[in-house]
Structure 1
């Protein structure tokens, strides 16, 4: 090897070593407690402005410092009490338990009302579910079990999935990828005194979704339409993404998180293998230096497209859990490293501080509808806090 070529390789090695050493130093200095303290300060700001009318903070538009509030029926209503429970878990302060209990109880009607959509898991497990996990309050358990039974009424055995929107928005039995997240409510209930059939419904939904909801490259559609009577797949569409063939960032995030959770609950290796495939395509297609994705991986205006901090928060939390199930040491290390980098990036560059009282900026809700673009959204804050808690436990 000539001297010039040898010097070149030495230079490359030095640069790579320096970059890895710099990240390692940053990783070791990442102060998770500092992030919890920040979230507590921001949540206290929100508590100070919530009206006394049993509403919940949902989002803050770009350029505003004021929350838009929603009632208990909104699909995002469980994220705020969920954040409060996570703050109680992170800090041990009774203040957060008291507030979490208060806002969780506003959701009680969902346990007895007729199911209007599939989001009961987001609403009830994030609130009462976290509450029961931390306090073992029997009243919470009763509400969770009732709600699981309510969610199960949306299951169509001819199709093999829970219908997402019973109002028949797309002319058939519709199931969206977000629904994977709500299966955890059924798994929980089946193992905590509820009907054992709830477990079977959840597994069947996951299997049907795995077989139909994804393109050959393991990217997810947003919505699958099935025939009500035959259960036959009609078509896949991506309502909240750029196009039916594009990879909508948050949809892929729901899929990674959802199938990781299904493996946790079933220990069926096919779900672990599938979760790994979903994570692989997400990480391989993620080109942003800060690991926060554009709202859609195929958006035509990249690099000027809006980011989606919520997708990064969801994926960071999911990867930490997925790493705990992965036996391959190299893959496990990659998942933990990427998840931590995402959380560091969110903490260093996406926190809202004095701009508004949310935790994070730059999430995108429903861009095709012109809704909640590049703003603060409560589910981004929820999964950010969950990711921090999971990282703390891992360390």
Structure 2
């Protein structure tokens, strides 16, 4: 594995159209760092965990959501139009198929994906992107299931229907679900749903989807972030004028605190938006919010559930935030042009993966999950210090991205 990381760092430079001949000498200085993370071993560990868990998960009307503290098996919840986490489990199976090339994972992924076809018409909330793209999007791209195209295009149309041009964002939650807010609500999580719109615009859908995604990203960049490049969770806009009415949180410690997974959604989201648009303003912003996030991290690179919660030494960590950022940073390390930034972001991602795969956070030998110690919503009193299905998804996506980087060299 040491040789892999040596060659990988050289590859990062070549991705920026630099001459390998002119840069091998300088890159060799960067490649001397050795990481203890063993990619192939961790892929095998994840496959073993799935082999252990999947035979227990037979009810297609439900999906695994969490493993409670000190429990070992997944708690399944009913699939539903309002349940945002349903797409992550099939997405995990698609990634395992891509990593292992074992047809059994493809068969399992198809079975778990196709129960959600009716969700393509969801217009009740923004989470249709989270629900459909990890499942049907990965099936289309990794499983060559071209028949999923129309389902994805319909899903994008449904998501786009929630766009309010007066505000310039896609409306996230309904006010009936969240009566604290009376008008147009947008949450930072919504940045990740934009990938469905970008994909659709490139694959036969309306070009308007691209414009909506870009405008949402621009408006969020202007209104969701503080001067120190940290994000609020919830912004309430006037539906007619587009004026910001309130800046609040739902899952963070306090309205003015820095909820760690909210920062993670932003890093991942703006990296993806730059990849899809090539607009340098999004890359510059991704760099700024990433640099701030890295400044705030504890020594092991796994954040507490909120960066501003008091008495952090006794507060829970959030492995899910670390998994999201690790995946985002692997991609960002290939998009920045500055070689020092390439190294910095790759190094940070590897440190996160080292911690996540360590005995302190790994579920191997303890439960049916890849990871332990995520925190979904402590401020709401649930999903505290548990395994979470979306932490699993972004962790295995990180492994898949690392493997692609290895194969590209």
- Structure 2 partner of 1:147: 155
Determine the C-alpha separation between the residues in 1 that align with 2:59 and 2:263.
Answer: 36
- Structure 2 partner of 1:45: 52
Q: Which of the numbers 370, 374, 398 marks the counterpart of 1:363? A: 374
The answer as to 2:97 corresponding to 1:80 is no
The answer as to 2:134 corresponding to 1:126 is yes
**How do 1:197-212 and structure 2 match up within 5 A?**
197-212=208-223
| Aligned partners of 2:60 and 2:112 also within 8 Å | no
| Aligned partners of 1:177 and 1:223 also within 8 Å | yes
The Cα of 1:137 is off from its aligned counterpart by 1.9
- Structure 1 partner of 2:170: 162
- Structure 1 partner of 2:38: 31
The Cα of 1:135 is off from its aligned counterpart by 2.9
Q: SS state of the match for residue 234, structure 1? A: strand
| Aligned partners of 1:340 and 1:391 also within 8 Å | no
Which segments of 5 or more consecutive residues in structure 1 lack a partner in the other structure? Answer: 1-19
Choose between structure 1 and 2 for higher RCO, CA contacts under 8 A separated by at least 6 residues: 2
- Structure 2 partner of 1:220: 231
Which segments of 5 or more consecutive residues in structure 2 lack a partner in the other structure? Answer: 1-28
Determine the C-alpha separation between the residues in 2 that align with 1:72 and 1:106.
Answer: 9
The Cα of 1:388 is off from its aligned counterpart by 1.4
Determine the C-alpha separation between the residues in 2 that align with 1:297 and 1:282.
Answer: 9
- Structure 2 partner of 1:304: 314
Determine the C-alpha separation between the residues in 2 that align with 1:339 and 1:135.
Answer: 27
Q: Which of the numbers 303, 307, 316 marks the counterpart of 2:326? A: 316
How many residues get paired?
A: 371
Q: SS state of the match for residue 84, structure 2? A: coil
Determine the C-alpha separation between the residues in 1 that align with 2:78 and 2:210.
Answer: 30
CA RMSD of aligned residues (A): 1.5
**How do 1:314-353 and structure 2 match up within 5 A?**
314-348=324-358, 349-353=360-364
Deviations 1:15-34 (A, max 9, x none): xxxxx99x934x1x532111
Q: SS state of the match for residue 106, structure 1? A: helix
Determine the C-alpha separation between the residues in 2 that align with 1:63 and 1:241.
Answer: 24
The answer as to 2:150 corresponding to 1:136 is no
Determine the C-alpha separation between the residues in 1 that align with 2:37 and 2:72.
Answer: 28
- Structure 2 partner of 1:11: none
- Rg: which structure is higher? 1
The Cα of 1:66 is off from its aligned counterpart by 2.6
Q: Which of the numbers 52, 70, 74 marks the counterpart of 1:67? A: 74
TM-score by length of 2: 0.88
Deviations 1:342-365 (A, max 9, x none): 101111131112321011000000
Q: Which runs of 4+ in 1 moved over 6 A?
A: none
- Structure 1 partner of 2:384: 373
Deviations 1:206-233 (A, max 9, x none): 0110000011111000000000111111
